[in-house]
Amino acid sequence: MESKDTPYASAGPQHAYMPSQPYRRVSGRMHASLVVVGAVVLLLFLGLSWQGSRLVRDAIESDAMSVFEKEVDTIQRALQTGLEDHVQVLYSLRGLFLASAQVDAEEWDAFVQGLDIIRRFPGMAFVAYAERVPASKRSLFEEQHRIFPPEERDEYMVMTVVTARDRDLALLGWDVSAEYGASFQRVRDAGELSSVGRMEHGDYLFALPVYRQGEATDSVRERRSAHQGFIVLGLRPSLFLSSQVILHPESVTTLAVSLLDEREALLYEQSIPQGFRCQDILHPLQRSTFLHTAGLVWILRICAPSSFGLTDAQVKFPLLLFLGGAGFSLLVFTVFYLIVNSRIRALRLAARMTSELGKFQLAVRHASNHIVITDPDGVILYANPASERLTGYSREEMLGQTPKLWGKQMPPEFYQRFWKRIKEDRLPFDGEILNRRKDGVPYDALIHVSPILGHEQKLFGFVGIEEDITSRKQLERARSEFVSLASHQLRTPLTAMRLTMDTLLSGALGALTGNQEALLQRAKEYGVHMAETIFTMLTISHVEAGKVTVQHSAVDICVLLRELEREYGNEIRRKEQQYTVECPPNTVLQTDAKLLREVFANLLSNATKYTPDRGSIRTTIREEDGHLRIDVSDTGYGIPAHQQDRVFHKFFRGENIMKRSTDGTGLGLYLVASLTTLLGGYASFQSQENVGTTFSLFLPLTPSSHGSNPRSGEDHPHR
Amino acid sequence: MAATPAAGKTILIAEDEDFIANLYKVNLEKHGVRVLTVGDGNEAIAAIDSAQPDLVLLDLLMPDVDGFQVLDHIRKKQYAFPVVILTNLSQEIDKQKCEELGAKDFFVKSDLSVEELWERICGYL
């Protein structure tokens, strides 16, 4: 409904389309920006999850780092202690030489075994005593020992007793001064335990000088003169490391411990799992520290993956945290997107409906038909401009009133029926009505009123449409009056002629000769035929004007056919035709008796007319597909094949028939088809020239509402 | 002509065409009935009121007072005799109107022979 102060003129077509476009644009723009916002929020959430997971990872890794550091310290301490212990054993062995100037192999072995050196110092490859032999005493010494390498030297440091882990190691008689002379001399001069070098096969040599008992050793000179020999220790890095750092293969820890010399050359490496190398992993935890004793420096390098000491759960936690965060943000984004999307769709729908409503309103406003919308009591809520033109009342006058303003011209029963249908039955009403304009001039209108029904058939009001059919009705009336008058004018002389001939034939005016009677009889037949033609033409005129009312009643088809048989009996007998009817008893149909009779009459009349003498005509009746099928078959002239598509056309006449007789109007079958349609059925036929024709009628077993013609119905006002 | 049960009954024919009225009179009188003819509605009303016929054959289109008005008069006077419409109007609307006004039957003149007409009205006598 538009507001009263809006003039119709202002609502041009552009107004109807304007709203939709900005709405769509706005919602489109809004859609895009909301999705961008959603995406930014999503990214932000993802970033936060990543950051959070990193923080957690860092915390966990710093935990891992401290565990690692502690582990490294532990290992370093253990190794350092082990190394010192190994070296310190030399002091114990020197004690043997302090007790007795000469130590033989037996004594040595007993002492070494007493110290349990092999077992207690697993890194030790061998311990030995190297005796100083001056060049002057070589020959004497060689009576009991061998010396190698055998070259002449100023003095010799020859191993005289050896305890080796590896019995293959042939050390007895080895003169260490040949290779390590300078280092050993430094040790002799310093008087202290010291590392002296590394052997070819990798063992590190340590030496502790032994001085003769009772001699002063305070100065280098004194120490040189008191020097007796060295206690020598061979320390094997691999044995040392593997014995000191015990890695359990079943432990979850991944760790690599490497021992390097002071030049960082790898001496030995031990790892778990076997073959684990720090170079192979990303971001390893790694630490280098030193082991040192008696002038020896080793680098201890320990390496572990960043997950060192962490449980599986701890390792996976940051990733899980990130994935959880990402999943959650995706979920939030999806929910957000769905909500936004559905809201936008709702907005679009609303925009579209607004636009359609606008178009609809425009259509209603500009409709040429009068359209009013009322509430359930008929109070007018809306009236379009056409209704102002038709009724003569302004919109202001109509609003708040009911259509009685221009109605009340029909009998009260009409309005009772009208209201019952639209308000009680809630069905649309169609009909013709007589109304009166504001200036008092009556007009005919075709009305269509529909109830507006909501949910559960709730009645909101009515939409009424009126179409002015005054001029059409006037035309119809004129035509009807003309047809009526014309037929009357034709019939009156025909009546006079027929009565004259009847009177003459009755012999009331005197006896007739045979010829006179025959001629009169023919004239009378022509009169009958003319009367039939006039009747047919009138009927067609009525059908075409839509003025034939179908009045249903129970019609016994068999009875109807028997009546017709009596009517056409004379003609049938005259042509000596055989006529049979096969009608199942009590074939009763709800139909219009008069119209159906007309249909049958035409079919029977045609059948006798176009069947030669002594031919046969047969009528059969049966049910078929919800219809009653009535066949009228003859053994007549038939219809030429090339004309068969025009059989039900107006003025159709078969070529073969026209050669035989000029009788016939070509209206009968047209009327049959028209009336059958009016009865809700249809007609068809099968024909073969010179064999016969069968016309079939199919009439609905239950009359449909289409069978009645609303335009010619009882709503028509009599004036 | 054999005497029929209708013999002696009076039939009033209201028909503006004298020629046609007379032909009906000639042919019906053969059956032993008495036939009066009048040429318009006024005469018909007068004849009905004075002669009290046993049956009226009434045309619809007549000068001055038409058949509908005659029917209306008969209905108002509550005459008991049957009225049969004999006209050349055949519109459904006319037929309905006659039925509403109390006519017993409705025949189209040109479609009936005199014999057929007699057969149909016999029953009303």
Q: Which residues of B touch A545 (CB under 8 A)?
A: none
For residues B65 and A674, what is the distance between their CA atoms, to the nearest angstrom?
A: 38
Q: In Å, how far is A503's CA from the nearest CA of chain B?
A: 6
**What is this model's ipTM?**
0.85
| Contact between A502 and B23 using a beta-carbon 8 Å cutoff | yes
pLDDT band at A48 (very low <50, low <70, confident <90, very high): confident
Q: Tens digits of per-residue pLDDT, A459-475?
A: 889 999 998 888 888 88
Beta bridge partners of A124: A235
Nearest CA in chain B to A713: B93
Q: In Å, how far is A443's CA from the nearest CA of chain B?
A: 21
Q: Which of residues 101-120 of B touch A (CB under 8 A)?
A: 108-111, 113-115
Give the CATH number of domain B10-122: 3.40.50.2300
Q: Which residues of B touch A718 (CB under 8 A)?
A: 93, 97
Q: Which residues of A touch B90 (CB under 8 A)?
A: 487, 535, 538
Token output for B122: 């016999």
- B91 shares contact with chain A (CB less than 8 Å): yes
pLDDT band at A349 (very low <50, low <70, confident <90, very high): confident
Q: What SS3 class is residue A407?
A: coil
For residues A198 and A267, what is the distance between their CA atoms, to the nearest angstrom?
A: 11
pLDDT for A709 beyond 50: no
Per-position DSSP letters for A668-710, written without gaps between them? HHHHHHHHHHHTT-EEEEEEETTTEEEEEEEEESS--GGGS-G
Q: In Å, how far is A479's CA from the nearest CA of chain B?
A: 12
Residue A710 has a pLDDT of: 39
Q: Give the closest residue to A605 by CA, choosing from A627, A651, A636.
A: A636
- B22 shares contact with chain A (CB less than 8 Å): no
| Contact between A492 and B17 using a beta-carbon 8 Å cutoff | yes
Residue A11 has a pLDDT of: 41
Q: What is the mean pLDDT of chain A?
A: 84
For domain A369-468, the question of CATH label 3.40.50.150 is answered with: no
pLDDT band at A2 (very low <50, low <70, confident <90, very high): very low
Residue with tokens 């593997």: A242
The DSSP symbol for A174 reads B
Task: Answer yes or no: are the C-beta atoms of A524 and A498 closer than 8 Å.
Answer: yes
Q: How far apart, in Å, do the first and last CA atoms of chain A sit?
A: 38
Q: Where are the domains of chain A?
A: 369-468, 481-547, 548-712
Task: Answer yes or no: are the C-beta atoms of A211 and A229 closer than 8 Å.
Answer: no
Q: Give the closest residue to A476 by CA, choosing from A539, A410, A546, A538.
A: A546
Of A160-169, A286-295, A310-319, A698-707, give the lowest mean pLDDT range. Answer: A698-707
Nearest CA in chain A to B19: A496
Bond into A612 cis (ω within 30): no
Q: Which residues of A touch B20 (CB under 8 A)?
A: 492, 495-496, 499
Give me the amino acid identity at A427: L
| Contact between A487 and B30 using a beta-carbon 8 Å cutoff | no
Residue with tokens 């009643």: A553
Measure the CA angle with vertex A425, ends A424 and A431; round to 5°.
105
Q: Tens digits of per-residue pLDDT, A491-539?
A: 889 999 988 998 898 887 888 898 999 999 888 888 888 888 888 888 8
Q: How far apart, in Å, do the first and last CA atoms of chain B sit?
A: 18
pLDDT for A690 beyond 80: yes
| Closest by Cβ to B24, choosing from A488, A492, A499 | A499
Residue A599 phi, psi dihedral angles, 5° rounding: -60, -50
- B78 shares contact with chain A (CB less than 8 Å): no
Beta bridge partners of A232: A128, A207
Looking at CATH, the fold of the domain delimited by A548-712 is given as Heat Shock Protein 90 (3.30.565)
| Contact between A502 and B108 using a beta-carbon 8 Å cutoff | no
Looking at per-residue pLDDT, the higher value among A1 and A604 belongs to: A604
Q: Which residues of B touch A506 (CB under 8 A)?
A: 27, 30, 114
Chain centroid, CA A148 distance in Å: 94
Q: Tens digits of per-residue pLDDT, A588-639?
A: 999 999 899 999 999 998 899 899 999 999 999 999 888 999 999 999 999 9
Task: Answer yes or no: are the C-beta atoms of A205 and A199 closer than 8 Å.
Answer: yes
Q: Which residues of A touch B27 (CB under 8 A)?
A: 499, 502-503, 506, 508
Residue B42 has a pLDDT of: 92
